Amino acid sequence: MPRPSVVEQNPIREAIAADRPGLVSMLESIQRLRRGLIGYPMRPPDQATPDYVAELFRLIDEQDGLVLVYDIQGQVAGFVAGFVARDGDVNAEPDFRDYAMISDVFVRTNLRGLGIARALLADFEARMAKRGVKHLRISSKVKNEGATLAWERLGFDPYETVFVKSIATPDEGAS
Ligand SMILES: CC(C)(COP(=O)(O)OP(=O)(O)OC[C@H]1O[C@@H](n2cnc3c(N)ncnc32)[C@H](O)[C@@H]1OP(=O)(O)O)[C@@H](O)C(=O)NCCC(=O)NCCS
């Protein structure tokens, strides 16, 4: 795939049915990254991704969601997916509880660092703003340092961190 020129003409569009295999392949890559590189106990992509794709497209259909792709000469260079959601935290101000969740972002490895994620997220934000959405949320696994740094560069504040601890079984504790 050619690298994007300084400014591609209208490279961002809504995903169409023909994009689905490419999107699934990129969602598998995200799962491979979580499982391998980052090392969390995650299901292999061939098992997890079909379930995830079904759930993601259900949320996109039912919760005013959106999938945008960055198209370079008919090839998908990257995508962003997300949907509207409501935080269950009753302690937060009502306005803050409503947000658009950016659930997935991926840019092809050889096209990273060129501003494709920045352009995709800016377009996603603009479209959600037109729908009256006031806040965006995005997450990354803490060990995914690249994504964590990118979200901060793209104007997101870290809001909440989930800590995990494995509990030793009684047998393990006794030895
Ligand atoms: C994270 C990811 C989407 C970034 O895409 P990208 O197109 O390379 O990002 P951009 O070129 O638009 O960069 C946006 C900003 O983030 C910064 N950034 C991007 N990747 C970075 C990294 N690995 N480390 C530090 N900063 C980074 C850029 O410098 C840029 O900031 P600047 O414009 O102020 O210089 C891409 O690396 C990716 O697909 N990663 C694998 C999938 C993934 O982890 N997705 C997130 C979990 S769903």
pLDDT at 37: 83
Could you read off the pLDDT of 71-90 as tens digits, one per residue? 999 899 999 999 999 999 99
Question: Which residue do the tokens 């995709």 mark?
Answer: 120
Three-state DSSP at 126 gives helix
Q: Decide whether any atom of ligand 1 lies within 6 Å of the 81 Cβ.
A: no
C-alpha to C-alpha distances, 148 to 26, 39, 55, 139, 154, nearest whole angstrom: 19, 16, 24, 8, 10
Three-state DSSP at 133 gives coil
Interval between CA 75 and ligand 1 midpoint (Å):
20
Q: Is-above-0.85 flag for pTM?
A: yes
Instruction: From the CA of 152, give the closest atom in ligand 1.
Output: 16
Instruction: From the CA of 29, give the closest atom in ligand 1.
Output: 42
Rounded to whole angstroms, how far apart are CA atoms 70 and 147? 18
- Say what percent of the chain tops pLDDT 70: 93
pLDDT at 9: 73
- Give the start-to-end residue ranges of the domains of the chain: 12-174
Q: Which CATH class is domain 12-174?
A: alpha beta
Which protein residue's CA is at the shortest distance from atom 36 of ligand 1? Answer: 107
| In contact, 42 and 31? CB cutoff 8 Å | yes
Q: Decide whether any atom of ligand 1 lies within 6 Å of the 115 Cβ.
A: yes
Which protein residue's CA is at the shortest distance from atom 8 of ligand 1? Answer: 112
pLDDT > 60? residue 6: no
